[in-house]
Structure 1
Amino acid sequence: MKLTAVRLAATLLAAASPAAADETCRFTGRTSYDGTLAIGAHTTIVAGALQIDVRLQLDANPLPLVHTHYVMQEVSAWSPQGVLWIAVNDRYRFDGHIVRQQWDVYRRVGDTLQGYRLQGKRLPEFERRHPGFVQHWNPARFGDDWLADYAKGAPDRRPDLDLTHDLAEVRVPLALSFYWLRLLPPGATTVSVFLPGFKEEKRAELAIGPSVPVSRGGTVRQAPIHYPYLSPTTPSTATVQLTPDHHIRQLMFDLHGVEHSARGVVAQTGCTGTPLPPEG
Structure 2
Amino acid sequence: MDDFKSFCIEEYNRIFTEEYANSELKKHNDKRKFAQKKAIKLSSINAMKTYPEIEPSDIWKTIYLSHVNSYSGIFDQEVIKKVISADNSWKKSSGHAFEEMIRDIGNLQLHGSGIKILLQKELSFQLHHNNILNEVRDISWLKEQIGTSIFDLYLGIETDSKYLIYGCLQTKTSIRDRVTRDREPSINAMKAFFVSFALVLDGDFLRLPKFQNMVNGDSAEFEINGWHNMYVLTNEDITKNRIKAIDISMDAFVEDCKKGAEFWSSQRQWLDYKWKP
TM more than 0.5:
no
**Which TM-score band applies after superposition, normalised by the shorter structure?**
under 0.3
TM-score (norm. length: structure 1): 0.28
TM-score by length of 2: 0.28
Greater strand share, 1 or 2?
A: 1
- Greater per-residue helix proportion: 2
